[in-house]
Amino acid sequence: MKVQKLQLPLQTFSLIAGFMVWVIISSLMPFIKEDISLTPGQLSLVTAVPVILGSILRVPIGYWTNKYGARKIFSISFILLIFPVYFISIADSLTDLLIGGLFIGIGGAIFSVGVTSIPKYYPREKHGLVNGIYGAGNIGTAVTTFSAPVLAVKFGWQTTVQLLIILLIAFAVLNFFLGDKKEPKVNTPLMQQIKSVYKNPKLWFLSLFYFLTFGAFVAFTIYLPNFLVSHFELDKVDAGMRTAGFIVLATAMRPIGGWLGDKFNSFKILMIVFTCLTLSGLLLAFTPSLLLYTIGCLAIAFFAGIGNGTIFKLVPLYFSKQAGIVNGIVSAMGGLGGFFPPLILSILFNLTGHYAIGFMALSQVALASLIIVIMMYYQENLELAKNVINHTAEAILITDIEGKILNVNPAFTAITGYDSSEMIGQTPRVLQSGKHKKEFYQMMWDTIKVKGFWQGEIWNKKKTGELYLQWLTISAVKNEAGEVKNYVGMFSELSRDDKGHLA
């Protein structure tokens, strides 16, 4: 098997390993808090801290992956993770957990490696699917959430944490020997890449979308185990299995979301995603029974998973030359989306005694995202129409119903010599050659009123004063009510030979 073909499975399993480490504290928190006394606020902080570095580091790691390749970044990351994992296994205070938890954030930061590296090996039309498959590596959170409580019951939570060191060594070795040494590199300076994208509103819209979808995934992953134990009084293993079910569903839907992004319009898919997240947040805000709460959580897992896969189809669509840095920024925002909600939920619970306001906030952010994605969808259609007009070989001019020119395309300028600044606000009369009588133009507009269009040969005049013959089509553009709103003229110059015949 060629080295290139190995990269998708190798990097996907590497992400699984990294995410297994990333959530080890939240998965074992019901056990850890029995040995280390923590207040509810401290507990929320400890479980959220790994998300900080796991989010911030995604930006430079995306850049470093483009510069040095996935092989080196994965290998170094797994070696570095050994130290905080061991430190957590011997922790006996809040400070120890915070320090160790901060640095195991590296396990979440390596997400940027694959989304930057993997698309280099596949055509654009498969980027949604392959990024979705790679992103399914977040199943590692489910593996830990399911297995860690079971192992902790048998061996103790400290030994369970130390077992991860074996996993880290194994994947550091696998990436060193099986990673692609010849991966294509991009050496554009980091600040140059950031300056080229940070003013683009699409970057921040995509970041908001991922802040919501991946943030919801991370937040529920670290929030559910302890919440199910404390609020619904489930036992620790049951809570872990239910959380694992949430993670498995969200993870399974991620490659499906990427595939849907390849096959259909990504904006329409995101409209459905944000509509359903809005409704799910509303359901959870009313603090339902365990059954309804389960339905609401699974709905969030289902649609957040689809959203996670679809969003990374859009990144290379808009930022093909800056994919590394943009993937890093977008995924960083997603990680931060998992940091704040558990803290906010904890604060709100202490203030109000319930989580309703927090879940209502989730619903409203989803609603705002829905509005933005609808706007982007129609903006995309407008940009497509603009590109068609600007790149067509025929000259085009658009007027209002009074005949004032609203726009002309580059082909119009090439033929007539007039640019858009000279023509907008004028009427097509400036182009008249003087070779046609008034009756000719009257017949033209009478035909347009009856048929909706006119086409034929007509003499017009260029900016230089040169007369030329063109083939012109004028069409009336109507709205849904059948009213004429614009007229569009499309023409091309007809060339003649030395004897005056059409060539």
Query: What does the H/E/C string look like for 366-382?
Result: HHHHHHHHHHHHHHHHH
Residue 497: the pLDDT is: 45
SS3 at position 478: strand
pLDDT, mean of each 10-residue run, the chain (503 residues): 82 94 87 84 80 82 87 95 94 90 90 87 82 85 85 92 95 93 78 74 86 81 74 78 84 87 87 92 81 88 90 75 73 74 69 73 86 85 72 86 88 89 88 89 90 90 90 86 85 65 45
Q: What is the CATH number of the domain that holds 372?
A: 1.20.1250.20
| Structural domain harbouring 70 | 3-388
Structure tokens at 360: 């209502």
Sequence-distant (6+) residues with CB within 8 A of 200 are 318, 319
Same domain flag for 154 and 179: yes
Give how many domains the chain has, as a whole number: 2
Contact 266, 171 (CB under 8 A): no
Residue 376 to residue 82: CA distance in whole angstroms: 43
Between CA 485 and CA 261 the distance in angstroms is 35
Do both 406 and 368 map to the same domain? no
Looking at the structure, tell me whether residues 83 and 174 fall in a common domain.
Answer: yes
Does one domain contain both 380 and 413? no
Phi/psi of residue 457, each to 5°? Answer: -85, 145
Kindly state whether residues 353 and 454 are assigned to the same domain. no
Which pLDDT value is given to residue 503?
Answer: 45
Cβ–Cβ < 8 Å for 15, 140 = yes
Q: Are residues 107 and 218 both part of a single domain?
A: yes
Is 502 domain-assigned?
Answer: no
Asked if the structure places residue 478 within a domain, the reply is yes
284 and 264 in a common domain = yes
Which neighbouring-strand residues pair with 467? 461
- Are 377 and 401 contained in the same domain? no
Q: Does residue 499 lie in a domain region?
A: no
The reported pLDDT for the residue numbered 345 is 67
pLDDT reported for residue 80: 95
Q: What pLDDT does residue 499 have?
A: 40
468 and 319: one domain? no
Whole-number Å distance between alpha carbons of 55 and 330: 10
Residue ending a domain, among 357, 388, 419, is 388
The verdict on residue 309 lying in a domain is yes
Please name the residues in contact with 498: beta carbons below 8 A apart, sequence gap of 6 or more.
Answer: none
For residue 400, the SS3 value is strand
CA distance 35 to 29: 10
Residues 419 and 369 in one domain: no
Identity of the residue numbered 364: Q
Q: Are 269 and 313 in contact (CB under 8 A)?
A: no
Residue 257 placed within a domain: yes
CATH number at residue 421: 3.30.450.20
Q: Which two tokens stand for residue 38?
A: 């923590």
Looking at 388, 419, 439, the residue that finishes a domain is: 388
pLDDT at position 273 is 94
Say yes or no: 382 and 327 in one domain. yes
pLDDT reported for residue 190: 67
501 lies in some domain = no
